[in-house]
Amino acid sequence: MYQVVAITLDPALLSLLKHYCQQDDQSWQLRSFPTVGSYLTAPRNDDAIDLLFFDATGIIAGLEEKRLVCFMAPLALRVVVTEPQHEDVILNHLEHFHSFVGHDLSYDHLQQLFANAARLSMLPLQESERRLIGRLTEYPVFPSICQELRELLKDPQVELVRVTSLVSRDPLIVSRLLQLVNSPYMGFASETWSLHTAINRLGFQMLQTLVLMLSIKARQAELGHADHESVLDAILADAGRCRQLALSCGYPRTMQDQVFITAILSGFGKLVLLQNGFELCDPALQEQSSGEGLTYLAVSAFVMTLWGFEAEVVQAILQQQQWQDGSAPSQKVSRCLYLARLQKLQLLTALPDAEKKQIRAAGFASVI
């Protein structure tokens, strides 16, 4: 059984939650509380809470009480209900929450939150990793333009002109997107300065990833986070190297794109750790893991699951620290990321002969 907790007096929100738990998925148990005090004093198993809703518009609570609310649900997907127009204020005060929704929450969005929470609980992470991730207090918020883009692209018949119109609303993203499209990272034969043509070349999946990266990069620049910007630049460079490996192995263009996308998404855990006070030199941010403690890849997998990315992407992120000898797409992607990591650390020559044989058999003979 999964457990969802709602701290709210809003009958509409409670009705939505009850309908989901009683009609859509009875593996969820709902507990609701009218005040923060009633929640904090109620008997509970903190580890059993998988999804938490806190109504910041209907419940009066101080910052310390809000912090305690989240502290009592360390492993849950934590959602704050607020007014979207107050997002800037909210972000400065409610860092412990993972997601923000308005009172006009759609049922589709609600279903996605439940699905994400269930997937978070099933992530193949060690218990120690889960607890360390649960102690992190600041997460990058999924940008609103990315949410709008995701909603738009749910329609398989969506027209390119509508997608172009949405992206064009942010001139900064447009300029940086066009720079990227015309850079060696993307590998296109000719230049284009037409946003419509650029998006057509990229494809919608690649577009979503690049808009996400550029939105967060713009946010870090606004806040003056130099380390964050340098990490984002390094992530892009690493993704380019991963794509070159996929190209050298003869992967088709779609698989090269998937390698590039996963490499970018893999690095987002570094940004979360930096936001939580980690330093670039800390073991958790290094490419070579000691096998103990927290890794940025575990945090990346958590954030991607939190944001509703496909299970195959999350699987590829987590698999890349070991050689994957299989035919599944996620294993093929992970192989490129694994080899790029070893190339960067100059550890390829130190591999056991048996693993070198596997690498050659998989089409990467030129790498060894």
Q: Judge residue 350's burial from the number of C-beta atoms within 10 Å of its C-beta, 0-12 exposed, 13-18 middle, 19 or more buried.
A: exposed
- Model confidence over 192-227: pLDDT tens digits? 999 999 999 999 999 999 999 999 988 887 777 888
Distance CA 164, CA 167 (A): 5
Whether residues 152 and 104 fall in one domain: no
For residue 57, the model assigns a pLDDT of: 82
Is there a domain that residue 214 lies in? no
Name the least confident of 19-23, 178-182, 261-265, 300-304: 178-182
pLDDT exceeds 90 at position 150 = yes
Domain-located, residue 65 = yes
DSSP 84: G
Q: Are residues 230 and 351 in the same domain?
A: yes
**Domain end call among 122, 155, 176:** 122
Structure tokens at 112: 């996605």
Lowest mean pLDDT among 117-131, 133-147, 170-184, 237-251: 133-147
In angstroms, the Cα distances linking 353 to 79, 319, 331 are 49, 21, 21
The reply to whether 231 and 311 lie within a common domain is yes
Burial 300-326 (b: 16+ CB within 10 A, else e): bbbbbbbbbbeeebbbbbbbbbebbee
Same domain (yes/no): 115, 152: no
Q: Are 57 and 77 in contact (CB under 8 A)?
A: no
Radius of gyration for the chain, computed over Cα atoms and rounded to the nearest angstrom = 21
In terms of residue numbers, what domain contains 286? 224-364
Measured distance CA(273)–CA(326) in Å, rounded: 31
Structure tokens at 28: 């969820």
**In this structure, what token pair is assigned to residue 154?**
């749910």
| Average pLDDT value for residue range 338-365 | 90
- Confidence class of residue 96 from pLDDT cuts 50, 70 and 90? confident
Distance CA 146, CA 152 (A): 10
Write the pLDDT tens digit of every residue in 284-315.
999 887 667 899 999 999 999 999 999 999 99
Whether residue 189 is found in the same domain as residue 257 = no
pLDDT for 84: 60
Look up tokens 């009683």; give the residue. 22
Q: Looking at residue 61, what is its pLDDT? A: 76
Higher per-residue pLDDT: 14 or 131: 14
- In this predicted structure, the answer to whether residue 56 has a pLDDT above a threshold of 80 is yes
Decide if 344 is inside a domain.
yes
Residue 89: per-residue pLDDT? 47
pLDDT score of 124 more than 60: yes
Closest by CA position to 356, among listed 346, 366, 291: 366
Q: Does residue 135 lie in a domain region? A: no
User: Which two tokens mark 264?
Assistant: 């970018």
The pLDDT of residue 222 is: 75
Q: Which of 23, 24, 21 is nearest to 2 (CA)?
A: 21
Give the end of a domain, one of 92, 122, 152: 122
pTM of the model: 0.90
Q: Could you tell me the CATH number of the domain that includes residue 29?
A: 3.40.50.2300
Per-residue pLDDT, 199: 96
Inter-CA distances, 124 with 121, 153, 305, 315, Å: 9, 29, 12, 9
Stretch 335-349: mean pLDDT, rounded?
91
- pLDDT score of 90: 52
Query: Minimum mean pLDDT among 234-248, 278-292, 319-333: which range?
Result: 278-292
User: What is the percent of the chain where pLDDT is above 90?
Assistant: 66
Q: Of the given ranges (60-64, 184-188, 249-253), which has the lowest mean pLDDT?
A: 60-64
pLDDT recorded at residue 94: 57
List residues bridging with 5 in a β-sheet.
Answer: 31, 52
Structure tokens at 101: 């929704």
> Is there a single domain that holds both residue 198 and residue 232?
no
In a domain, 23, yes or no: yes
Q: How many domains does the chain fold into? A: 3
